[in-house]
Chains A and B, each alone.
Chain A
Amino acid sequence: MSRETLVNLTMLAGLVLVPLWALWADEPFTITLATRAVILALAAAGLNIALGIGGLVSLGHAVFFGIGGYAMGVLAYHAQTYTPLMEAPVLIEGTKSMPVIWLVALVASALAAFVIGLLSLRTSGVYFIMITLAFGQMLFFFTISWARYGGEDGISIYLRNGFPGLNTLVPIQFYALCLTLLVLTLALTAALMRSPFGLALNAARQVPERVRAVGLDPFRLRLAAFTLSGAITGLAGALFADLNRFVSPSMFSWQLSGEFIVFIIIGGTARLFGPVVGAVLFVALEHWLGGISAYWHIWFGLLLLGIVLFGKGGVIGMIAGRARTHD
C-alpha cells in the first residue's frame, strides 16, 4: 500500500468516525460542520476532474454550484408555496424530493457546463481562467436582479427536502447521504483516471499533438470532462442549498470559485483525495481561526501563502511524497 493510499484511507475513516463520535458526544454542530466540509469537497472533486486531470483552471465553477443550488431553491420554493413552476405548455410542479432535485441539478448544470465549455474551451491559459470568471459574474449579476426568486435576498426553504426512507432533518442521516455521494464521486474519479478516457485527457493536457496524432480530438475530450465536472459541482450545489435551507446569488460569487481552487491546491492538485483534504482543512481552519481572532483572514492568508510557496504538492504531497502517476 502506498503512503498516499494510507492517507486516503485515514481521511475516509476520519470522515466516518468523527461524526459518529459527535453523535455519541451529542455535538450536533460538529456534524453540521462535517456536512459542510463533505459538500464543499464534492464541489471541489467535480472541479478536480477538469482542473486536476484535464488541466483546465476554471475560475467560474461557482456557476454550476449556484445552478445546482437554484435548481433546489426553485423546485422547493414552488412545492412550499403550492404554486406550479410552469403551466403551459405542460404543467410542471415543484418538488421536495431530493432524488428528483438532484437529477434536475445534474442535468441543468451539465447543460450549462456544456454550453460554457463549448464557448470557453476555444481559449486556453489565462484567457480560459478569465472567460470562466466572466460567465460566473454574468450569472451572479443575473440572479441578483432575478426578482421572481428573491433577487439578492435569495430563497429560504423552511424544511429540508426529503429522501425516501430517511429523515433528512436528522443531521447524521443527511451527512450520511452527502458522504455516500462523495464516496461514489471519488470512486468514479478513480475509475476515470485509469480509464482510456482519463488517460487520453491527461495526455491532452501534457502533449495535445500526440493525442491528435492518434486520432482523438483534445477539444472534445476537454468538453466532456468539463461537462462532467460541472454536473458534479452542480449536484454539490443542490446539497449545499439543502444544508443551509437557503440559496442566494452568493453561491455564484467569484470568491467561491477561488475557494474551490484553494481546496484542490491545499490538498494536492490531481490527487484523488486532494479536494477532500483541502475542504476539510479549510472548514476546520475557518471554524478554529474565526474563533480566536477578529482578523483571522490575515492568518489564513499567511497560511495559504506558506502552503503555496513552501509546500509543493499540497498536504498530500508533503505527507506522501511525489505522486506515483507523475511522469
Chain B
Amino acid sequence: MTFKRLALATAAAAALATSALAEVKVGMITTLSGGGASLGLDVRDGFLLALEQSGRDDIEVVIEDDQRKPDVAVQLADKMVQSEKVDVLTGIIWSNLAMAVVPSVTAQGKFYLSPNAGPSQLAGRGCHQNYFNVAWQNDAFYEAAGSWASENGIGSVILMAPNYPAGVDGITGFKRFFEGTVEDEIYTRLGQTDYAAEIAQIRASEAEMLFYFLPGGMGISFMKQYSGSGAETPVMGPAFSFDQGILGAIGEAALGVRNTAHWSKDLDVPGNADFVAAFEEAYGRLPSLYAAQGYDTGLLLVSAVETADVSDPDAFRAALKAADFQSVRGDFAFADNHHPIQDIYMREVVKEGDVVTNRIIGTAATEHTDAYGPDCNM
C-alpha cells in the first residue's frame, strides 16, 4: 500500500518535472527514510497535492531524502543550488537540519519556505529576507499552551522535554506565558524509550497538570506507559506529540489529552474540509498537521508564482510576503520577520467511531506571533 502511494506521488512529481514550460524550480529536501520518515512523507504529499490542484505546469519539483542527517541535508542543498539550480527550497522537518541548511542557501540568494521547524535563531538575529516560515516558530505551541493554562486557572505544572535545544526551547516557551508555579522540570534523554522513572516523579508531584513535549516514538512510549501507571495528573502538550500518525499508535491511552495546534482536521475554515477529503482520497490516510503545513506551503508558492516572476527576487519576495492564499488554518499573515501571525487552538483527543483523533475545544492564542521578531533586522 505504501508503495502504491509512493508510486502515485512520484508520478505526480514526474508529471510536473517533465513540463517544458518550467519556470520555477523547487528543491524539496525532506526525510523520506528511516525513523522520521512519516513526517517528511506527509509534508511532501501535502505540498504535491497543492501543486497538483493548482493545475499549473510551470513549477518543477525535485525531491531528495535527507535521511534525517544534517550532513546529507547540507550536501543535498549544495546539489540543489549548484547542479539543479533551483529557485526555491523547502521540505526540511527538523530544526537542526534547518540550521545547517537555511543560512547558507538564503545567503546564496535562494528562497527557503519552511514547512516545519522554526528555530529561534532564524526568527531573531539570524532572520533573512529570503526565509519564510509557513509553519510556526518553534515556541508557538508552547507559548499558547502556557497562556491557555493560566487563563483556565491551572496553578501549578510539571514540565518535561528531552534534553536538547528544541526541548529546552519548548519549556522556556511554556514558561514565558504561564503565570502559575512550575513544580518541576524533567529533562529526558533524546531517544529514551522507558519513562518509568519520570512517571514515578510525576506521580509523586503535587502539580495540577503535566505539560510535555516528546516528539515521535518517545511520545508514543511515554503516553502508553503513563496511562498504564495509574497516574492521574491531566496531560497537555504541543500537537507534535499527539498528531494523527502518532495517535494511531498510542490508541485510547491518549483520550482526553489536550494539545495546542494551529490546525485540526475539524477546523471550520474555508477550504479545510475539501483539503481533508482530497488528501484522504489521494493517499488513503487522514492528513496530519505536517500534511496541512506542506499543503499551505504549496499554496503559498502557487500564490506567489501567480503574481510575480521568480527571476525578479524583489517582486517574488513581496508576493510571498503578501501570503495571498486561503490557508487551511484560517487567517494567515507574515510578521515582519517572515514568521506566521496565526491563531492557535486547543484540541482534545477524542474517539470518532473507531478512530482516535483530535477535536478543537477552543482558542489558545489569537493572532499569535513569536517573541523573537524585535531582534530581527532585515
Q: Residues of A at under 8 Å CB distance from B? A: 27-30, 32-33, 36, 141, 144-145, 147, 150-154, 156, 158, 171, 240, 244-246, 248, 250-251, 290, 294-297
Q: Which of B36-83 contact A (CB under 8 A)?
A: 64-65, 69-71, 74-75, 78-79, 82-83
In the complex, which of the residues A29, A147, A246, A294 contacts B165, with contact meaning CB atoms closer than 8 Å? A147
B79 and A152 contact, CB distance less than 8 A: no
The smallest beta-carbon distance between A80 and chain B, in angstroms, is 11
Q: Check: B269 CB closer than 8 A to any chain A CB.
A: no
Bound together, the chains give a CA A203 to CA B95 distance in angstroms of 49
Residues of A within 8 A of B103 (CB): 156, 158
B74 and A245 contact, CB distance less than 8 A: yes
A240 and B79 contact, CB distance less than 8 A: no
The smallest beta-carbon distance between B358 and chain A, in angstroms, is 28
A245 and B33 contact, CB distance less than 8 A: no
A27 and B83 contact, CB distance less than 8 A: yes
Q: Residues of B at under 8 Å CB distance from A? A: 6, 32-33, 64-65, 69-71, 74-75, 78-79, 82-83, 95-96, 99-100, 103-104, 107, 119, 163-166, 168, 189-190
A244 and B79 contact, CB distance less than 8 A: no
A29-B82, A158-B104 given. 9 additional CB < 8 A pairs?
A32-B75, A36-B75, A144-B190, A152-B96, A153-B99, A240-B71, A246-B70, A250-B70, A250-B71
The smallest beta-carbon distance between B86 and chain A, in angstroms, is 12
Residues of B within 8 A of A150 (CB): 99, 165
A145 and B163 contact, CB distance less than 8 A: yes
A248 and B96 contact, CB distance less than 8 A: yes
A290 and B64 contact, CB distance less than 8 A: yes
Residues of A within 8 A of B75 (CB): 32-33, 36, 244
B168 and A156 contact, CB distance less than 8 A: no
Bound together, the chains give a CA A198 to CA B96 distance in angstroms of 42
**What is the chain B residue whose CB lies nearest that of A295?**
B33
The smallest beta-carbon distance between A287 and chain B, in angstroms, is 9
Residues of B within 8 A of A295 (CB): 33
Instruction: Using A28-B82, A248-B96, A290-B64 as known contacts, say yes or no to A153 and B165 having CB atoms under 8 A apart.
Output: yes
B95 and A153 contact, CB distance less than 8 A: yes
11 contacts between A and B (CB under 8 A): A153-B95, A153-B99, A153-B164, A158-B107, A244-B70, A245-B104, A246-B74, A246-B100, A248-B96, A251-B71, A294-B6
Residues of B within 8 A of A245 (CB): 74, 104
The smallest beta-carbon distance between B161 and chain A, in angstroms, is 12
A152 and B164 contact, CB distance less than 8 A: yes
The smallest beta-carbon distance between A231 and chain B, in angstroms, is 21
Bound together, the chains give a CA A297 to CA B70 distance in angstroms of 18
